[in-house]
Amino acid sequence: MRARAVVVFRGRVQGVYFRANCADKAEELGLDGYVRNMHDGTVEAVFEGDKSLIETCIDWNRKSQPYARVEAVEVNWSEPRGDVRGFQVQH
């Protein structure tokens, strides 16, 4: 089942290669979307693809980011829009 998730990662997630590592994992899993730093120090990621693969990616980012320390994750699920292709790091 395809889905869309808007995810906010809180903690030590900026300046630790979080976006690059997130993008590599999302691409490995075949997900579409993007990841970007937010002004409040969080990182927002939008994932589209198979729901179970999105859940795998969220879990990996929560627990396995090599330099980050994720303290909280907020996930909002919705229907996929199909407006993103590939996975990009936004600056």
- Per-residue DSSP letters for 23-80? HHHHHHTT-EEEEEE-TTS-EEEEEEEEHHHHHHHHHHHHH--SS-EEEEEEEEEE--
Look at strands 32-37 and 87-89 and give their pairing: parallel
Active site residue 69: no
Active site residue 19: yes
- Three-class DSSP category at 18: helix
CA 88 to chain centre: 10
Q: Which of 4, 19, 21, 61 is catalytic?
A: 19
Q: Which of 10, 12, 36, 37 is catalytic?
A: 37
The catalytic residue positions are 19, 37
